[in-house]
Amino acid sequence: MLRPQRMTQKIIIGILMALIAIVVLSFSDAPSMTSYSNVNDEYVSVFSDQQDWNSCVQKADSEWGGQCLNYGFSEVKYTVHLVNRCTEVVDLMSCVQRENGRWQCFYRLDMKKSDTLHAYACRGNGKYLKWVRKAEDFTTKFPTLSEVNDEY
């Protein structure tokens, strides 16, 4: 038979083990009910109203022929005129493709409404690309000339 003191120790140890188990289980990653009524409508609407910066800059005109430093007058010089149509100030990178398939790139930072970038290639083929971001948004990177030549 167990002595009363020994039996008391076993009961205390049993109770302590049960308490420890309860504490450990209370900190476990048990699934919990989640209420979706706490969604902030303002947060959702920010994404639906985000500005498409690329749509701010539009081709106003283009032309063939013109004066080039290294070539004199060139009939195959291609120039594209890109205008900021938005009231927001934007940064623009535009590249014009040469006859040999390589790109020549131009930048215009802090373009205000109606500002124009005239991008050209002295021996162009009529193709151009553009990238637009909100002015001073340096977290949005423009591609490098190497990346443009490799990808396009």
Alpha carbons 120 and 48: distance in angstroms, whole number? 35
Residue 112: which of 51, 56, 38, 30 has the closest Cα?
56
Residue 108 covered by a domain: yes
- Residue 65: the pLDDT is 96
Residue 128 covered by a domain: yes
Find the angle CA(149)-CA(93)-CA(119) to the nearest 5 degrees. 85
What domain range includes position 83? 53-151
Residue 88 covered by a domain: yes
Per-residue pLDDT of the chain (152 residues; tens, 9 = 90+): 556 677 777 788 778 777 776 766 666 554 444 444 444 444 333 344 467 899 999 999 999 999 998 878 999 999 999 999 999 999 999 999 999 999 999 999 999 999 999 999 999 999 999 999 999 998 999 999 999 999 99
Alpha carbons 65 and 24: distance in angstroms, whole number? 79
Burial class (CB in 10 A: 0-12, 13-18, 19+), 132: buried
- Residue 63: the pLDDT is 97
- Residue 13: the pLDDT is 79
Question: Tokens in use for 106?
Answer: 């131009």
Residue 35 covered by a domain: no
Residue 18 covered by a domain: no
- Residue 23: the pLDDT is 63
Residue 46 covered by a domain: no
- Residue 19: the pLDDT is 72
- Residue 12: the pLDDT is 80
- Residue 43: the pLDDT is 39
The total of structural domains in the chain comes to: 1
The pTM assigned to this predicted structure is: 0.65
Residue 132 covered by a domain: yes
Residue 129 covered by a domain: yes
